[in-house]
Chain A
Amino acid sequence: MPDKRIEIKATRYDPATDEKPHLQSYDIPFYDDSMVVLDALNHIKSHVDGSLSYRWSCRMGICGSCGMMVNGIPKLTCNAFLRDYWPRAIIVEPLNNFPIIRDLVIDMEDFMRKLKSIKPWIIRKQELPLGAGEHYQTNEQIDDFRQFSECINCMLCYAACPVYGLNNEFLGPAATALARRYNLDSRDQGLKERLPVIADPEGVWECSFVGECSVVCPKGVDPAKAIQQTKLDTTMRFVLPYGNRD
């Protein structure tokens, strides 16, 4: 259907000239049912307005770069099909809760800082030499953390979280999910190094369980679950005798 078209309204913001962001409308051909919002943006960039700025990379829901607000919902634009919106217009905006650098590009510095603060890597009290062999894990041990390891750092959960929107000191969903991923890993011994960050009042205790982070997560990570389980675990460590053991 070569005549089918769809209207894309994209946020434009040039920090050199604009006081605040505004929407700009583009009418583009919708020639294939497999087209996604990212394809529409790429069409605009290539054929209509080369100055439109946005992030993207893999186009297959792995890199987590192309997260934007699509009709008010945080989505990976490579996974948001035009056919689900047509014939209505699609409003594409930068992710909520983050400062806007330009057009659809947000400043992710705060998230990167938080991600680093939870030390998302395996911590060993004493590293063994390579010759000592592998750290074996059973399937059950892997199942403990597998879900939380699926996070692609797309930040959709932060855009959906009103708690983070109101208080950006909050550690947030993805960082907590990743902290939980490593804390549940049988090879990891870094819980005590992460506790000051995750058990802080601005850590898991700031969350009031809105749950929208898990609704919008494109990988089924369920960060809300990670946060609530961490609350329970840290409470148990405090309450139970010998709860503070390693």
Chain B
Amino acid sequence: MTTEAPAAPREFAWRMPGNWWTRTRHYFLYMLREFTAVPMALWLIWLLYEIKRAGSGPHGYYPRSSTAFVVFSVIVLGFVLYHSYTFLKLAGVIIRVKLFDRPVPSQVIVVTMFGSWALASAVVGFVLIWFAR
């Protein structure tokens, strides 16, 4: 008498649909957050090109000021602000600091991060405006 091992039950394999990121608002915002890197990268490549153009000195260098470039820059600024906001908002989740053996509340970390961001932006803005005068 031969005994055959019972066949393994056939399972239905899960496949992630290509439109998974449209299923919830949370997924969509996540994809938007990840996508912000693309326009930021394009703008930075443009910046590198501008630095190269300015490499031979101020004579003959004129910064881009076309409407298209300004509009593009404003759109990228929107993406940068969104990316920064999402990143700093999550800092309270990521960073775990203890002060006098007690954990610092995540809200305090987030406020500190946004405060540092505002301060750094103000300093950079001041330096740029001061040296551009």
Q: Which residues of B contact A229 (CB under 8 A)?
A: 93-94, 96
For the complex formed, measure the closest distance between the CB of A128 and the CB atoms of chain B, giving whole angstroms. Answer: 26
Determine if A15 is an interface residue (Cβ-Cβ < 8 Å).
Answer: yes
Given contacts A162-B20, A210-B27, are A99 and B94 in contact (CB under 8 A)? no
The answer to whether B16 and A100 touch across the interface, beta carbons within 8 angstroms, is no
Which residues of B in the span 91-125 have a Cβ within 8 Å of any Cβ on A?
93-96, 101-103
Stretch at the interface among A54-62, A169-177, A194-202, A220-228: A220-228
The answer to whether B30 and A15 touch across the interface, beta carbons within 8 angstroms, is no
Stretch at the interface among B5-13, B42-50, B57-65, B74-82: B5-13
Q: Which residues of B contact A99 (CB under 8 A)?
A: 11-14
Determine if B67 is an interface residue (Cβ-Cβ < 8 Å).
Answer: no
The answer to whether B27 and A15 touch across the interface, beta carbons within 8 angstroms, is no
Q: B10 contacts which of A15, A97, A208, A232 (Cβ < 8 Å)?
A: A15
Least CB separation from B10: chain A residue: A15
Q: Which residues of B contact A211 (CB under 8 A)?
A: 26, 30, 90
For the complex formed, measure the closest distance between the CB of A42 and the CB atoms of chain B, giving whole angstroms. Answer: 24
The answer to whether B23 and A72 touch across the interface, beta carbons within 8 angstroms, is yes
C-alpha gap A107/B13 in the complex (Å): 10
Determine if A182 is an interface residue (Cβ-Cβ < 8 Å).
Answer: no
For the complex formed, measure the closest distance between the CB of A74 and the CB atoms of chain B, giving whole angstroms. Answer: 11
Q: B11 contacts which of A96, A107, A210, A225 (Cβ < 8 Å)?
A: A107
Q: Which residues of B contact A102 (CB under 8 A)?
A: 9
The answer to whether B12 and A225 touch across the interface, beta carbons within 8 angstroms, is no
C-alpha gap A121/B9 in the complex (Å): 32
C-alpha gap A16/B10 in the complex (Å): 8
C-alpha gap A168/B36 in the complex (Å): 26
Determine if B4 is an interface residue (Cβ-Cβ < 8 Å).
Answer: no
The answer to whether B93 and A228 touch across the interface, beta carbons within 8 angstroms, is yes
C-alpha gap A79/B90 in the complex (Å): 28
The answer to whether B90 and A228 touch across the interface, beta carbons within 8 angstroms, is yes
C-alpha gap A107/B90 in the complex (Å): 33
C-alpha gap A224/B14 in the complex (Å): 23
The answer to whether B27 and A212 touch across the interface, beta carbons within 8 angstroms, is yes
The answer to whether B93 and A96 touch across the interface, beta carbons within 8 angstroms, is no
Determine if B66 is an interface residue (Cβ-Cβ < 8 Å).
Answer: no
C-alpha gap A62/B94 in the complex (Å): 28
Determine if B3 is an interface residue (Cβ-Cβ < 8 Å).
Answer: no
Given contacts A15-B10, A228-B93, are A162 and B21 in contact (CB under 8 A)? yes
Q: Which residues of B contact A63 (CB under 8 A)?
A: none
Q: B20 contacts which of A13, A16, A165 (Cβ < 8 Å)?
A: A165
The answer to whether A15 and B9 touch across the interface, beta carbons within 8 angstroms, is yes
Write the residues of chain A forming the contact surface with B, with a CB cutoff of 8 angstroms: 13, 15-16, 20-21, 72-73, 96-102, 107, 140, 143, 162, 165-166, 208-212, 215, 222, 224-225, 228-229, 231-232
Add 9 more A-B contacts to A21-B12, A224-B93 (CB < 8 A): A97-B16, A99-B11, A100-B12, A140-B102, A162-B21, A162-B27, A211-B30, A212-B24, A229-B93
Provide a sorted-by-A list of 14 A–B residue pairs whose CB atoms are within 8 angstroms.
Answer: A13-B12, A16-B10, A97-B16, A99-B12, A100-B11, A140-B101, A162-B21, A162-B27, A165-B16, A166-B16, A209-B90, A211-B26, A222-B93, A229-B96
Shortest 10 CB-CB contacts between residues of A and residues of B: A99-B11, A15-B10, A228-B94, A165-B16, A100-B12, A225-B93, A210-B30, A99-B13, A166-B16, A15-B9
